[in-house]
Structure 1
Amino acid sequence: MPKYLISFEKGAMDHIPEEDFADVGKASHAVVQEAKDAGVFIFGGGLRYDDDDVEHAVVEIDGTITDGPFPESKELIGGGMIVDVPTREAALEWAAKIAVACRCAQDVRKFMFDPEQDD
């Protein structure tokens, strides 16, 4: 089946009051559990950018490694989930559930099929 990345940009949840984050966490974890129970969940999580302990590096094509952070001009992913579903419509349904739970818009992108890696 096709795999889809459902994600949101860094800062997309900045409008949520701090006192509501526990509810957002519970709602998003419920959607993840639903996806697991449905057998479509592959991976998910948020990305951290807010402290000095964040491990981040950029590896250039010549192998040069530079420790982060990313330049602010780059579009950054705040978090996401990968699902393995039969159709785009199914991916959009999961994205709608995540959008409601996380209180922010979601980007949905299909991974390219690779016959050497995919079923």
Structure 2
Amino acid sequence: MAKYLISFPSAAMVLPDDEWKAAGRDAHAVIEEAKAAGVYVFAGGIAEDVPPLLVTADGAFTEGGYPWAPPLNGGFTVLELPSRDDAIAWAARIAKACRCDQELRVFQIDPQS
């Protein structure tokens, strides 16, 4: 089984004010379904009120991420699934609940980690 990242950037969630509560409820319901199915690894979002730190190999750090990279934000779900087709189906369920498209990626696992 592979681990899949299902995610969206914050800017993708453009909802009318009266839909936010329902989207949150529906997204949490899908996560509960994933837990019940035994495929849940973790889920959450990037804390956008805490700036990233760029840490060098010698331990020095500066506030901010890579200056050339787009910001990393939004919501993330990691599921462990038997196939890409299963991952696509779960991503569709999450997209419907969140009311925005989801990006799907598979983790390349280092067998020595």
Q: Identify the TM-score tier after normalising by the shorter chain.
A: 0.7 to 0.9
8 Å contact from structure 2 (residues 3, 81) kept in 1: yes
8 Å contact from structure 2 (residues 30, 97) kept in 1: yes
Query: 1:69: Cα distance to partner?
Result: 6.6
Pair 1:92-2:91 in alignment: no
User: 2 CA distance for matches of 1:70 and 1:22?
Assistant: 33
Q: 1:114 aligns to what?
A: 110
Superposition TM-score, scaled by structure 1 size:
0.83
Pair 1:67-2:63 in alignment: yes
Letter in 1 for 2:11: G
Q: 1:16 aligns to what?
A: 15
Letter in 2 for 1:112: Q
Structure 2: stretches of 5+ with no match in the other structure: none
Structure 1: stretches of 5+ with no match in the other structure: none
Q: 2:43 aligns to what?
A: 44
Q: 1:4 aligns to what?
A: 4
1:50-104 Cα shifts (integer Å, max 9, x gaps): x4xx253121344321123775951423111000000001111110000000011
8 Å contact from structure 1 (residues 35, 41) kept in 2: yes
8 Å contact from structure 1 (residues 7, 77) kept in 2: no
User: 1 CA distance for matches of 2:66 and 2:15?
Assistant: 24
8 Å contact from structure 1 (residues 99, 106) kept in 2: yes
Q: Percent identity?
A: 45
Superposition TM-score, scaled by structure 2 size:
0.87
